Amino acid sequence: MVEEQKQPGILCISTYEKGQAFLRAAAQTGVPVTLLTVEKLRHADWPWDSLSQVHFMPDNFEHLDEALAFVTRLFRHNNYGRVVALDEFDLELAALVREHLRLPGMGQTATRFFRDKLAMREGALRGGIAVPAFSSVANHHALWAFMEKVRGPWLLKPRSSASAIGIKKIASQAEIWPVLEQLGDEASHHLLESFVPGEVFHVDAIWWHGELKFAAAHKYGRPPMQTMHEGGVFTTRTLDREGEEAKALFAIHAQTIAALGAVTGITHTEFIRAHTDGRFYFLETAARVGGAYIAEVVEFAAGVNPWAEWAKIEVAELRGEVYQLPLLSADYAGSVICLAKQETPDISSYDALEVVLRMHKHHHAGLIVKSSSAEKVQALLDAYSQRFLDEFCTRMDVPDKPTS
C-alpha cells in the first residue's frame, strides 16, 4: 500500500553555492524544502537547519536527460509541488523537470526567453524594443550578409552563458571564421552582436502572474564585461527614482518583459545607454536574482530581499494564495567589490557612517553603503572604488566556461 503523501514541498536545484536566503525564507513558512546540488558542494555553506532533505548529483552529468532521470527517481517518493532553479545555469533542468513531471511553472519554451540570448533578442525585437543589431551564426550566408550590413566591431556571445563569460570581441570579418571553425558544432550556440559602447544599467523586479509588483533601477560603474575582461572595481548603485534615467528604464523594462512573456517570480534585466544616440537598448534578462550582492543592495535601499520575496511567491503559488508585497522603504544603496591581492583584505578604514555591510570572502574586498541620498551613495562609491583600485585590486583571466 502506498503511503499517503505529506504536504507538497519545494525542490530547489543549484549547482552553485547561492540562494541561502531563499532556502531559509521558504522553510520559515513551514513548507518542506529539498535542496538538490552537486557533490563538490557537499560541504558548502548551506542553511542545513532549513532543509528537510539534501541530495547530491554527480558533478559530471554530460546530458540533461541524465539529470532528469536522477530527479525523477527522487520524485517517486517525494511530493514536490514546485521546482526552483536557484542559479541561471540550472534553469534548463528545472524547465525540463516541470515539463516531464507536468508541474506548474515555466516550461522549456518560456524559459528560452529568459535564458537563450538569441531567443530573448528576437522576442524583444518583435515587441518593438530597441536591441543592438544581432545575428545567429548558424548559417554562414546570413552571417556574412549581416556583417556586410552592420559594421564591426562585434561581440561573439554564448547564447546560454551568464555575465561576460565566454564573450569575444571580433574586430573584422576575417577574424570570425577561424573562431567559428574552432568552435565546431558549438558555434551555433553563439550569436554575433554589434558592439555598442555605452553605460550599462540593470532593473531588478518582482512579478506576480505578469503583474509588476516591484522594480528597482541601478547603474553599474563600469560595464560588467569591461570589469571581467580588463579587471578593476565593480560597483552598482540605486538610481534616483524620480530621475530621467530611472523613469526611462522603468518604461523599457516593463515593455521588454511583456514582450518576452508573463512571469511569476524574479527578473534581473540589463540595458545599455549608447554613447552615440543616448538611447536605451535591451541587452539581456534572466529569471533569477542578480549576482554580486545585488540582492543586498536592493534590500538596503528598498527594504525587500529578492531572494526572500521569491521564496514567498513560490510558497503562495504552492498553497493557492495571493502574494503580497511588503511595505517598501525609499533609501539608496550601492556596492563596491573587487578581486583582492590579499587573502583577507582589511577594509576597516572604510568607516563612513553609511557603510552597512562588509563582505568576508577570501581574496575579495567589498562593502555596501546606504543613504537617504542617491548623490551621497554615488559620491562614496566614486571615492571608495578609487581606493579599492589602489589598495586591493588584482585581476585574473575570465574563464571560457562557468565554474562553480
Peptide bond into 153 cis (omega under 30): yes
CB 216 within 8 A of CB 238: yes
> What percent of the chain stands above pLDDT 70?
94
- Give the type of residue at 234: F
pLDDT at 3: 46
CB 116 within 8 A of CB 157: no
Q: Which residues in 5-18 are b (16+ Cβ under 10 Å) and which e?
A: eeeebbbbbbbbeb
| DSSP-assigned letters across all residues of 257-302 | HHHH----EEEEEEEEEETTT--EEEEEEESS--TTTHHHHHHHHH
pLDDT at 162: 63
Distance CA 87, CA 160 (A): 12
Distance CA 88, CA 53 (A): 22
Contacts of 194 (CB under 8 A, 6+ apart): 132, 133, 134, 150, 152, 154, 155
The number of residues in the chain equals 404
pLDDT at 223: 76
Contacts of 260 (CB under 8 A, 6+ apart): 113, 114, 120, 123, 124, 127, 285
Cell triple for 168: 569575444
CB 217 within 8 A of CB 246: yes
CB 402 within 8 A of CB 165: yes
Condensed to tens digits (0 to 9), the pLDDT of residues 208-243 reads 999 999 999 999 998 777 776 577 899 999 999 999
User: Which helix (H) or strand (E) covers residue 249, if one does?
Assistant: helix 244-260
Domains of the chain as residue ranges with CATH: 9-112 (3.40.50.20), 133-194 (3.30.1490.20), 200-391 (3.30.470.20)
Condensed to tens digits (0 to 9), the pLDDT of residues 153-189 reads 999 999 987 656 789 999 999 999 999 999 999 999 9
Distance CA 280, CA 271 (A): 6
Q: DSSP class of residue 77?
A: T
pTM of the model: 0.93
- Whether the per-residue pLDDT at 403 is higher than 90: the answer is no
Distance CA 35, CA 74 (A): 11
Q: Which of 70, 61, 69 is nearest to 89 (CA)?
A: 61
Local structure of 82: helix, strand or coil: strand
